[in-house]
Chain A
Amino acid sequence: MEEEILKLLIQLLLITLIIIYGAIAYTMLYRKWRTSRLKIIESTFAKICSLFLYPNPNLEPNLIEIQRELKSVGIVPSKPRNVQYLIDLMIRTQRSILGVNYIKLKTLFTQIPPYGASASKLNSKKWYIKARGIREIYEMDQSQYTRDLIKLRNSDNIYVRREAQIGIVIFLGWKSLRFLPYLKRQMTLWQQIKIVEKLYDLYPVPDLNHLRRAYNSDRPYANELIMRIIRKFHLTEDIAYIIQFIDNPKFETREAAIYCISSFLLDEDQIGEIKEKFYNISNTEQQLMLLKYFQRISMEIDLPFYKDLLYNGNDSIKLSTADILWSNGYKEEVQDYYYQQYTQKANSDFISV
């Protein structure tokens, strides 16, 4: 009996081993085969691109021939992984080439399969497929899908709407400010920075009409976004927009306003306006940042303003003001304040006795 069990166990073990070795062999062979397939696709695609960009003299590139060639290496709708690989290759190529060839490639990519493969991803229920589809569309500059991207700008999923917003900026440029300041959901700081950078890279000449129309938006993220745009494009004539948010009740909006204003040089009136707002700021750190900024951009010291702060501010403000006055040659004022504290203290001691 025991012998039989033992035999059975050995047989089981042997079968398991055979299955495992078989599986290993299969994966190895499959991988080898798959890599060679991908290599074939890559080299075919490379040949197609190079011949399309630099055809033989007197020979027009034949699109039907190209489509046939791609089909023969396995670019067919029934093999989505091959199609995806081709899309990745297209994106890689589009990213590496500039100038006339870029435009030529763009035309090529609209006319070979897998045209529509990226666009059909937009209908997927899974967010990562949707986001990937959007990314492919804007990486390959397929602007005919702009409308579909606009529809996705308020998507529930943060990644889908982020990609859609970036796509809108890439295709519409300054016109995208017709949508971006009126989104249903908040926009993160990172997304704001990405949008401003994309705008700056692709559309470096500001279109003030579209920008100024967006000033009406009352959404906090939109205010921050517009301030960052004003800063990035150095729109000195629109500084008033930033100044109005210096004493905004929201911490983040104030923070953005102070950050953005710091890269401008202001005239006396504008500085005066900020100094009036200075007292409304509830956060000491932000006040200190503004003080540093004043010191950096002012040629002369505004003595009444600083003296007021020296006598009426809180301890950090007092210290910083004293520092500014002292380093600008107003030692007497600081000394006066210093001694005046003692007389005050002496008086209060006297009273308490």
Chain B
Amino acid sequence: MRKALVIQEDLIILKILERLVILNQYDCRAIRSINDLDIEDQSENFDIIISDILFDGIAPLDFVFQIQEIILHKSLIIVTNMGQKKIEKEILASKNVSGFFPIPLDMDHIQKLIA
């Protein structure tokens, strides 16, 4: 089974994303912040990570680069409240992410990416 990691502070968005991912035949780990990551997550190889970029103590762009190094994964999708054009441009320019969705968002776009 494919593996997915969802990190969202907003519980409601987190749960909805979790359901969406599970229905697409993923084994899903859903957490609310990067502090909840444990040592086992680092040894996993996730097929997909759907994450926010706004966390305590780390700049959005740094987070995108660091998660690349810390957790093995095939693709990274960003879902965030911090959807300013400037941030989006910078993150997409870094070429590490396969999708950037500012909230409010249409889940169908994510479904297309993960199906």
Contacts and interface: CB of A to CB of B under 8 A. Distances in A.
A47 B105 contact: no
Given A42-B11, A43-B11, A54 B16 contact: yes
Interface residues of B, number: 18
Which applies to chain A's interface (DSSP): helix, strand, loop or mixed? helix
A46 B106 contact: no
Contacts, number: 58
Given A98-B106, A99-B107, A99-B108, A92 B16 contact: no
B104 A45 contact: no
Contacts of B18: 50
A95 interface: yes
B13 interface: yes
Nearest to B106: A99
B19 interface: yes
B99 to A, nearest CB: 15
Contacts of B19: 50-51, 53-54
Interface of B: 10-16, 18-20, 22-23, 103-108
9 contacts: A45-B12, A46-B11, A53-B20, A97-B16, A98-B106, A99-B106, A100-B106, A101-B16, A101-B106
A96 B104 contact: yes
Contacts of A49: 12, 15-16
Contacts of B105: 96-98
Interface residues of A, number: 21
Given A54-B20, A54-B23, A93 B106 contact: no
Nearest to A56: B23
A92 B14 CA distance: 13
A101 B108 CA distance: 9
Given A54-B19, A100-B106, A101-B108, 14 more contacts: A42-B11, A50-B16, A50-B19, A53-B20, A54-B20, A89-B12, A96-B10, A96-B104, A96-B105, A97-B16, A98-B104, A100-B108, A101-B16, A101-B106
A53 B111 CA distance: 13
B10 to A, nearest CB: 7
Nearest to A99: B106
Nearest to A53: B16
Nearest to A101: B107
Contacts of B22: 54
